[in-house]
Amino acid sequence: MTATKGLEGIVATTSSISSIIDGVLTYRGINIDDLAENATFEEVIYLLWYGKLPNRSELDQLTKDLSDNASVSAEVIEQIKLYPKDVNSMAALRTAVSSLALYDAEANDMTPESNLRKAIKLQAQLPTIIAAFARIRQGQEPIAPKSCASVAENFLYMLTGKQPEAIAIQALDKALVLHADHELNASTFAARVTVATLSDIYSGVTSAIGALKGPLHGGANEAVMAMLEEIGTAANVTSYINDKLANKEKIMGFGHRVYKNGDPRAKHLQKMSHELGKITGNMNWYDMSIQIEEIVTGQKGLKPNVDFYSASVYTSLEIPRDLFTPIFAISRTSGWTAHILEQFDNNRLIRPRAEYTGPSNQAFVPIEQR
């Protein structure tokens, strides 16, 4: 038995949800470029869950179901009020999502109908949790979700208490479309491993949030913004990046396990970053990002991934840096839950093997002789 480090190139399951073939990403066979230009996040959620684009009445019903289920139980909100104010936002989200199960009478109902209802609740309630957490830590009261608003509009509204501008809703909506699913990425794999034991959907999504948090995965978008802030201005980019590369440090937001010739989502986020920079009158983050890309791609051949330009996009939307990865989780909940439903539909325990590299034939030494 020989291990493949990081399971690189290992095909661990079949799936009909999203594919990456020759660098092209599709959801249910539809190119991400077409979805980014034409679909709303709600259309994408429907596509991922049901395998086809919704017609008008199906879309209206899903939008209504999501807003009808967006309120979070009072117990969970009370618990969030008890969290330390400076707690990591992904840790807060992970804990709150886990506790949703405690107040859902059907949490352990494993029927397909119940699992679909819980997928709707999870998708609807993650934005409410994140907005509530963001307000509570600033000493503000949470804002109840609006009825019949999109996920993007509702989230921005609950975060700020103001009606968001159309341009902000559109930008966030497109970012949600772009992050919704990505084949067998680490957090989706974690979700599938968890539910393949026939554990519940809340456990699956909680596992996934834990995996997304890390800076080699979803946490990279926050790390990119931290780097941009540390660099400060375009004049400092060259020396900062050259020093990092000389020290063999990773540049966050670059490289990918699967894409070697570029992440097809990055160009959409780059365009958004440029447009939002022009609208806000602050091109600093975009200009720095372009310079970083030139150096990293020029010297290392590494291209930006989905996390790189999303950092400047969210900053232009005035979203606090530590909510970037939670926003990724809002979007990816659609993909996680689609994968969990697919796993339940044709389940087998996921249990690979390990290549043992420890000592052998060791005698047991009694504690007095150690």
Ligand X SMILES: CC(=O)SCCNC(=O)CCNC(=O)[C@H](O)C(C)(C)COP(=O)(O)OP(=O)(O)OC[C@H]1O[C@@H](n2cnc3c(N)ncnc32)[C@H](O)[C@@H]1OP(=O)(O)O
Ligand Y SMILES: O=C([O-])CC(=O)C(=O)O
Range 58-87, binding ligand X (CB under 6 A): none
Span interacting with ligand X, options 154-162, 201-209, 276-284, 298-306, rule CB under 6 A: 298-306
- Measure the CA–CA gap between 190 and 278, rounded to whole angstroms: 39
CA torsion through residues 75, 77, 80, 81, sign: negative
Range 6-35, binding ligand X (CB under 6 A): 6
Least Å distance, CB 257 to ligand X, is 4
Q: Which does 220 bind (CB under 5 to 8 A by kind): ligand Y, ligand X, none?
A: ligand X
Least Å distance, CB 241 to ligand Y, is 22
Q: Which does 251 bind (CB under 5 to 8 A by kind): ligand X, ligand Y, none?
A: ligand X
CB 299 within 8 A of CB 245: yes
Query: Could you give the maximum distance between any two Cα atoms of the chain, in Å?
Result: 75
Annotate each residue in 149-188 with x if it binds ligand Y (CB under 6 A) or - if it does not, as one string: ---------------------------------x--x---
Size of interface with ligand X, in residues (CB under 6 A): 18
The three-state secondary structure class of 74 is: helix
Binding of residue 334 to ligand Y (CB under 6 A):
no
CA triple 238-243-247, angle to 5 deg: 150
Binding of residue 309 to ligand X (CB under 6 A):
no
Q: Considering only CA atoms, which of 178, 174, 172, 173 is closest in space to residue 332? A: 178
- Measure the CA–CA gap between 235 and 245, rounded to whole angstroms: 17
Q: Considering only CA atoms, which of 38, 56, 46, 40 is closest in space to residue 17? A: 46
Range 233-292, binding ligand X (CB under 6 A): 250-257
Q: With respect to ligand X, which residue has the nearer C-beta, 293 or 307?
A: 307
Least Å distance, CB 93 to ligand X, is 16
Q: Which does 274 bind (CB under 5 to 8 A by kind): ligand X, ligand Y, none?
A: none
Q: With respect to ligand Y, which residue has the nearer C-beta, 94 or 256?
A: 256
How many Å is the Cα radius of gyration of the chain?
21
Binding of residue 218 to ligand X (CB under 6 A):
yes
- Beta bridge partners, 254, equal 304
- Measure the CA–CA gap between 344 and 116, rounded to whole angstroms: 11
Provide the edge-to-edge strand list for the sheet that holds 18-21: 18-21, 24-27, 30-31
Annotate each residue in 235-274 with x if it binds ligand Y (CB under 6 A) or - if it does not, as one string: ---------------------xxx----------------
Per the annotation, the verdict on 256 as an active-site residue is: yes
CB 338 within 8 A of CB 184: no
Q: Of 48, 120, 306, 311, which lies in the binding site for ligand Y, with binding defined by CB under 6 A?
A: 306
Q: With respect to ligand Y, which residue has the nearer C-beta, 214 or 320?
A: 214
Q: Among residues 179, 256, 268, 274, which one is catalytic?
A: 256
- Measure the CA–CA gap between 89 and 307, rounded to whole angstroms: 17
Q: Among residues 217, 263, 307, 339, which one is catalytic?
A: 307
CB 336 within 8 A of CB 204: yes
Q: With respect to ligand X, which residue has the nearer C-beta, 164 or 264?
A: 264
Size of interface with ligand Y, in residues (CB under 6 A): 7
Torsion angles phi and psi, residue 27, rounded to 5 = -105, 120
Which amino acid does the sequence have at 93?
L
Q: Of 66, 136, 172, 220, which lies in the binding site for ligand X, with binding defined by CB under 6 A?
A: 220
Pick left, alpha or beta for residue 331 (phi over 0 → left; psi -120 to 50 → alpha; otherwise beta).
alpha
Least Å distance, CB 295 to ligand Y, is 22
Residues in the chain: 370
CB 370 within 8 A of CB 155: no
Binding of residue 331 to ligand Y (CB under 6 A):
no
Closest CB to ligand Y: residue number:
185
Structure tokens at 158: 């609950």
Per the annotation, the verdict on 268 as an active-site residue is: no
Q: Which residues bind ligand X (CB under 6 A)?
A: 6, 216-218, 220, 250-257, 300, 302, 305-307
Q: Which residues bind ligand Y (CB under 6 A)?
A: 182, 185, 256-258, 305-306
Q: Which residues are catalytic?
A: 256, 307
